[in-house]
């Protein structure tokens, strides 16, 4: 893909002077960190701009003992809905009225009306399902940000979903376009649950989700708080300490 690191992508004027609706899909490792960071982002936006956030969170998982430590849950949360538990905690702490849905996207929630969809899911099949649902939205979201990780590395990417009635607009490629192998329905999903904290830490580094989410949130702050971004995401590696930016398409 031809790139020019001096290019910038600018927030559309339609985001001015209003509440920005975000749909967060997944409230586990990356998603839980994103949800807490979005509360901080909302506070910052209210202080420096006329924008604020309204977040709807969807996840069909419950808190297990294996989630403790790496995900933002406590022992007293075990057995409770991830989405409802963390959203209620944030609402009480920040005086917000964000929405939580215990269910699976896209079946259990509509994506129409969302300005930004953020996916923190474990499998290629889940990303394909979200991509298909976005293509059928009456009002397509302006952005789709996706986060993913393995044991000690991860990536985040923001793109602009393509709508069936407007296939030729200049836009940022989505995760399914940047990583076309995810569209392969024969690609095996690897989402086996861990049974203990120790086993979970063998599968994923303790802080990989915080690192990936922090970088993704910093990009959102630049876009929503400062009005532009100079890259579309990045590849991160905790073992080597490297962060390699994903450049914007030329001319954006």
Residue 113 has pLDDT above 60, yes or no: yes
What is the pLDDT confidence band of residue 61, given thresholds at 50, 70 and 90?
very high
Flag whether the pTM goes above 0.85: yes
**In this structure, are residues 232 and 158 in contact, taking their beta carbons and an 8 Å threshold?**
yes
The Cα-based distances of 31 to 120, 138, 148 in angstroms read 5, 26, 10
Of the candidates 34, 36, 71, 23, the one whose C-alpha atom is nearest the C-alpha of residue 194 is: 71
- Determine the average pLDDT of the residues in 174-197: 72
More confident of the two residues 58 and 17: 58
Residue keyed to tokens 């302006």: 142
Which pLDDT belongs to residue 2? 42
Helix (H) or strand (E) holding 217: helix 208-220
Give the C-alpha separation, 64 to 59, whole Å. Answer: 14
pLDDT at 3: 44
- Residue 199: pLDDT band (50, 70, 90) is low
Residue 167 has pLDDT above 80, yes or no: no
Residue 131 pLDDT > 70, yes or no?
yes
Instruction: Pull the structure tokens for residue 54.
Output: 């309204």
Q: Per mean pLDDT, which range of 31-45, 150-164, 232-246 is the poorest? A: 150-164
pLDDT of residue 36 exceeding 80, the answer is: yes
Report all structural domains of the chain as residue ranges with CATH numbers, in order of start.
16-182+191-245 (3.40.50.720)
Specify the range with the lowest mean pLDDT, choosing from 11-25, 154-168, 178-192, 231-245.
178-192
Q: Are 93 and 51 in contact (CB under 8 A)?
A: no
How many whole angstroms separate alpha carbon 35 and alpha carbon 116? 13
Q: Output the DSSP codes for 54-105.
A: EEEEEE--B--GGGBTTBS--GGGTTSBHHHHHHHHHHHHHT---EEEES-T
Q: How confident is the model at residue 217 (pLDDT cuts 50, 70, 90)?
A: very high
Q: Which of the two residues, 8 and 251, has the higher pLDDT score?
A: 8
pLDDT surpasses 90 at 197? no
91 Cα distance to chain centroid: 19
pLDDT for position 148: 94
């Amino acid at each position: 893909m031809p790139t020019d690191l001096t290019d910038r992508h600018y927030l559309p004027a339609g985001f001015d002077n209003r509440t920005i609706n975000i749909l967060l899909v997944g409230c586990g490792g990356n998603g839980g960190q994103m949800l807490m960071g979005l509360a901080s982002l909302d506070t910052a936006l209210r202080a420096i701009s006329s924008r604020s956030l309204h977040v709807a969170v969807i996840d069909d998982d419950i808190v297990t003992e294996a989630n403790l430590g790496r995900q933002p849950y406590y022992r007293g949360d075990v057995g409770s809905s991830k989405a409802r538990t963390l959203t209620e905690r944030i609402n009480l702490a920040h005086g917000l009225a964000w929405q939580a849905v215990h269910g699976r996207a896209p079946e259990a929630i509509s994506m129409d009306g969302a300005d930004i969809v953020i996916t923190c899911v474990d499998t290629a099949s889940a990303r394909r399902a979200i991509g298909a649902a976005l293509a059928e939205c009456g009002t397509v979201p302006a952005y789709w940000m996706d986060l993913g990780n393995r044991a000690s590395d991860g990536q985040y990417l923001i793109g602009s979903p393509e709508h069936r009635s407007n296939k030729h607009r200049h836009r940022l490629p989505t995760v399914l376009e940047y990583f076309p192998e995810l569209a392969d329905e024969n690609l095996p999903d690897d989402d086996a649950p861990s049974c203990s904290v120790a086993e979970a830490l063998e599968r994923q580094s303790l802080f990989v989700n915080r690192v990936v989410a922090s970088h993704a949130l910093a990009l959102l702050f630049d876009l929503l708080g400062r009005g532009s971004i100079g890259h579309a995401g990045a590849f991160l590696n905790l073992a080597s300490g490297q962060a390699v930016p994903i450049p914007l398409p030329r001319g954006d």
